[in-house]
Amino acid sequence: MYQLVVRSGFSAAHRLAYYPGACERLHGHNWKVTATVAGEELDQLGMVMDLMVLQTILDECLHQFDHRMINEVAPFDQTNPTSENLARYIFGWMKNNLPAKARVVSIEIAENDDFSVIYSE
């Protein structure tokens, strides 16, 4: 089994509904996202998939949030935009957009250098 890891990020604002503290107010982060993908089969070049292609797929997913108010982007107009919910959403998006020979292992999302959430199935 091979695991491929790519990192990307986006800048966006959000507010956490019903949070008993400052995060209920509008605030922003420079989010960092790490995607880990696995595969067993190598292509004729000796790759599970091209890392540049994997990076592009992750960037496509994150583009919808960049410089936006996440609470206004579906499904987060109906779902609290916590790091946990964002990680699960990105995992599902990646799962639906990867080539068949690769599968998502985990998505890690960090709001800052001290806190992160990892989602996997």
Kindly indicate the confidence band of residue 117, based on its pLDDT and cuts at 50, 70 and 90.
very high
Task: Indicate the average pLDDT of the chain.
Answer: 97
Q: What does R_g of the chain's alpha carbons equal in angstroms?
A: 15
Kindly indicate the confidence band of residue 100, based on its pLDDT and cuts at 50, 70 and 90.
confident
What gap in Å lies between CA 21 and CA 121, rounded to an integer? 30
What gap in Å lies between CA 51 and CA 79, rounded to an integer? 31
Q: What is the pLDDT of residue 72?
A: 98
What gap in Å lies between CA 109 and CA 94, rounded to an integer? 14
Q: What is the pLDDT of residue 69?
A: 98
Mean pLDDT of 88-111: 96
The full set of domains in the chain, from first to last, is 2-119 (3.30.479.10)
The two structure tokens encoding residue 2: 């091979």
57: part of which helix (H) or strand (E)? helix 51-63
DSSP letter at 15?
-
Q: What is the pLDDT of residue 36?
A: 98
Q: What percent of the chain has pLDDT over 70?
A: 100
- Residues 9-66 pLDDT 10s: 999 999 999 999 999 999 999 999 999 999 999 999 999 999 999 999 999 999 999 9
The whole-model pTM stands at: 0.96
